[in-house]
């Protein structure tokens, strides 16, 4: 009789196993939530850093070449289109600039530049005297505008070049603000990421900073 009682008491019942599995799942869920947030934060910081480095490389390229880099339209990292029509979008010529080819989500950074800042014509038609070998002047302004939302208040204007990482979701089908960053016109959105559905990262070449760097390097008077 004692042996039979011991046999009946050994092991776990299905209910006990189910309870253990539920507890285990709650523990794992509690761990994975914060871990996922940490990994997402790392991806965001990595992408923001790439955009910052790319902007610096573009300004350095302008100092050396008298113009901003042209579009990469074939995906090989090299400049392809230096006479693009206004609003034409390509990707960053990463090999030419010596920067990473992809963001944290393994996607290329899209890139748009005012064609007057990459062409072989000195100056952009403003009253300043043209400087030989430089495609823009002290009075030059770009044709790109950034807004807080699609059709919202202006965040920045007169921008010569802009870079976009379309985030983890690439381009959300239902988010008009993300669509604004992918519709091949000169209007873009830089929106707070607390808004669900929008996860783009936008960075642009500041015209005043570009001119300041060119003057410091004696490329502009």
Q: Which residues in 124-177 belong to E strands, given as ranges?
A: 144-147, 154-159, 161-165
Residue 221 lies in a domain: no
Could you read off the pLDDT of 16-54 as tens digits, one per residue? Answer: 777 767 776 666 666 655 666 777 788 989 999 999 999
Residue 47 lies in a domain: yes
Tokens of 61: 């390229």
b or e along 49-62 (b: 16 or more beta carbons within 10 Å of the residue's beta carbon)? Answer: ebbeebbebbbebb
Which H or E run contains 110? strand 110-113
Residue 96 lies in a domain: yes
Report, as ranges of residue numbers, the positions in the chain whose pLDDT lies below 50.
1-3, 6-7
Residue 193 lies in a domain: yes
Residue 51 lies in a domain: yes
Domain that holds residue 30: 2-216
**How would you class 151 by CB atoms within 10 Å of its CB: exposed for 0-12, middle for 13-18, buried for 19 or more?**
exposed
Domain count of the fold of the chain = 1
pLDDT the model gives residue 126: 85
Residue 35 lies in a domain: yes
Which H or E run contains 13? none
pLDDT the model gives residue 80: 86
Under 8 Å between Cβ of 34 and 82: no
pTM over 0.85: no
Question: Of 140, 104, 146, which Cα lies nearest the Cα of 122?
Answer: 140
Residue 192 lies in a domain: yes
Question: Of 154, 149, 155, which Cα lies nearest the Cα of 180?
Answer: 149
Which H or E run contains 211? helix 207-216
Could you read off the pLDDT of 165-175 as tens digits, one per residue? Answer: 999 887 665 68
Residue 63 lies in a domain: yes
């Amino acid at each position: 009789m004692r042996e039979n009682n011991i046999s009946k008491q050994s092991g776990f019942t299905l209910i006990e196993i189910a309870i253990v599995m539920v507890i285990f799942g709650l523990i794992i869920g509690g761990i994975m939530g914060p871990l996922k947030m940490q990994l997402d934060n790392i991806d965001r910081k990595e992408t923001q850093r790439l955009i910052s480095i790319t902007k610096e490389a573009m300004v350095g390229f302008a100092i050396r070449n008298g113009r901003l880099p042209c579009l990469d339209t074939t995906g090989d990292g090299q400049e392809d289109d230096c006479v693009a029509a206004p609003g034409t979008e390509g990707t960053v010529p990463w090999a030419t600039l010596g920067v990473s080819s992809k963001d944290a989500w393994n996607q290329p950074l899209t890139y748009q530049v005012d064609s007057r800042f990459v062409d072989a014509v000195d100056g952009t038609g403003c009253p300043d005297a043209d400087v030989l070998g430089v495609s823009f002047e002290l009075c030059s302004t770009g044709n790109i505008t950034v807004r807080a939302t699609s059709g919202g208040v202006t965040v920045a204007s007169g921008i010569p070049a802009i870079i976009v990482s379309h985030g983890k979701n690439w381009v959300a089908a239902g988010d008009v603000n993300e669509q604004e960053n992918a519709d091949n016109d000169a209007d873009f959105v830089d929106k707070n990421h607390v808004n669900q559905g929008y996860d783009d990262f936008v960075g642009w070449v500041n015209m005043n900073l570009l001119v300041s760097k060119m003057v410091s390097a004696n490329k502009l008077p």
